[in-house]
Structure 1
Amino acid sequence: MTVLNIAVAGASGRMGRMLIEAILNADDLQLAGALDTPTSPSIGTDAGLFLGKATGVLIESDLARGLAKADVLIDFTRPEGTLKHLEYCAAHGVKVVIGTTGFEPEGKAAIAAYAEKTAIMAAPNMSVGVNVTMKLLEMAAKNFSHGYDIEIIEAHHRFKVDAPSGTALKMGEVIADALGKKLDDVAVYAREGVTGERDPSSIGFATVRGGDIIGDHTVLFAGIGERIEISHKSSSRVSYAMGSLRAARYLADKETGLYDMQDVLGFK
């Protein structure tokens, strides 16, 4: 059995630790590197310390040391950090799974450019359940294209720094594409005061931030006499971690190219 060597960015964060634990429990994967910011108190400690395990992999801030043995880097950090990591990976043949959200158009363009040099799987949500939900939304949008108002409601923990969530935006894009529209042309991100009647062609967004909510997303198709709600609710980051490992395995035989979870799940 071929073992895939995985490095994790943001190794001392909530998602980083979940990824490390999942990798250590996988027979076909090996933890080969762990990265964090230079100011992290975890720098120089064993990446498995939080589990009481000695992995022999130290958390590094230096990319050359942290990625020296890696086949794939899994990155759930911030856009500026991810792009820095990606530049190094593209230059040194390391494949990348990107779960980071909040990229500006320039950042998305940079990811596409780096994909000409290495294989990249980028998705706003790695959960298999969420990505199956995306497919359901595509089907629903095509059947509820007339007479139904579409609203996307998302909720996350108090520490999330971007809004709407990357997953909510992706849901909007999937729905807009199914309707033959561009999300930028129909999205409504805020309502306040006297707004007038709802534009039936719009896709509305509502954002909730509070407590320790992992991630809830509901798409409401509201018609006259009925409404349909398609929801996904995360109770743990385990689903994100397991989806990320599935994405890393998908990249194993890819040299270059930009992929998403729809590719990984065979929906394309």
Structure 2
Amino acid sequence: MNHRIAIAGCSGRMGRLLIETVLGAEDCELAGALDQPTSPAVGQDAGAFLGRNSGVAIASDLRTGLRDANYLIDFTRPEGTLAHLRLCRELGVKAVVGTTGFSDAQKAEIAEIARDVAIVMAPNMSVGVNVVLKLLDVAARALSQGYDIEIIEAHHRHKVDAPSGTALKMGEVVAEALGRDLKQCAVYGREGVTGERDPSTIGFATVRGGDIIGDHTVLFAGIGERIEVTHKSSSRATYAQGSLRAVRFLAGQAKGLFGMEHVLGMA
């Protein structure tokens, strides 16, 4: 079975990697490539950066980019992703969403769209990160008393949202395991005389610089010991490969909103 896939944001770093990964997969076919109207790449062959002729021209019109596709992979920005998903619902195109930074209202709209079309949405498509999320649930339950929890993340200088979607997901997993609401217990910055640390809080620290692809550490700091659960990305290839696993999972789903835990059979 060939999975006919369109890629959004195809001229970006992630978009190009997704195109390369799709072109290299035996069971996948590049069926569309989308970019902003202002992009100089519009009209060019989507495989030109690889020195290949894919037969797919980069389009700025959504309908043109999606008309031959059964799936869309989208790692762009919240507003653009939502516009894409609205049309996906109309056309019956399933979607894999790696975009981060959605508001609660935007997440609610995605859940509504998923009542009609199947969507996998995850802040991180890496298989390793999603295994770490499972480990964090176990660790948080076992270390629920006497341990302060801090989440430290680092990304490249071009990342526009902070904390990262992955860091927030880690915080949500830990908070849920502890019976807490992350919105009520998260601390996103410390400055000046802050007083003693509130043991019920979950702290976040953000680093931005250079070409760091993505590092995440959850620190459980107790008296006399500390436990660190860390994931470090050395290549975006893991996100692309995880996205194709999500596409293959969606082949068996008619509608609904799923996470990578469903894709990996850990739900």
Residue by residue over 1:179-209, the C-alpha shift from the partner in whole angstroms, topping out at 9 and shown as x without a partner, is: 1111111100011111000000100000000
Counterpart secondary structure, 2:106: helix
Query: For residue 198 of structure 1, what is the amino acid of its counterpart?
Result: R
The residue aligned with 2:126 is 127
Aligned residues with identical type, % of pairs:
69
Give unpaired runs (5+ residues) of structure 1: none
2:176 is the alignment partner of 1:177 = yes
In 2, the alpha carbon distance for the partners of 1:142 and 1:106 equals 30
Counterpart secondary structure, 2:56: coil
State how 1:1-268 maps to structure 2 within 5 Å. 2-268=1-267
* Alignment TM-score, normalising by the size of structure 1: 0.99
Query: For residue 205 of structure 2, what is the amino acid of its counterpart?
Result: A
In 1, the alpha carbon distance for the partners of 2:40 and 2:116 equals 33
Residue by residue over 1:213-260, the C-alpha shift from the partner in whole angstroms, topping out at 9 and shown as x without a partner, is: 000000000000000100000011000000000001100121110000
In 2, the alpha carbon distance for the partners of 1:91 and 1:145 equals 45
Give the superposed CA RMSD: 0.5
Query: For residue 29 of structure 2, what is the amino acid of its counterpart?
Result: Q
* Alignment TM-score, normalising by the size of structure 2: 0.99
4+ residue runs of structure 1 moved beyond 2 angstroms?
none
Give unpaired runs (5+ residues) of structure 2: none
In 1, the alpha carbon distance for the partners of 2:260 and 2:180 equals 22
Counterpart secondary structure, 1:171: helix
In 2, the alpha carbon distance for the partners of 1:122 and 1:48 equals 26
Please report how far the alpha carbon of residue 131 of structure 1 lies from its aligned counterpart in structure 2 after TM superposition.
0.2
Please report how far the alpha carbon of residue 117 of structure 1 lies from its aligned counterpart in structure 2 after TM superposition.
1.1
In the alignment of these two chains, the number of paired residues is: 267
Residue by residue over 1:158-190, the C-alpha shift from the partner in whole angstroms, topping out at 9 and shown as x without a partner, is: 000000000000000000011111111110001
Counterpart secondary structure, 1:60: coil
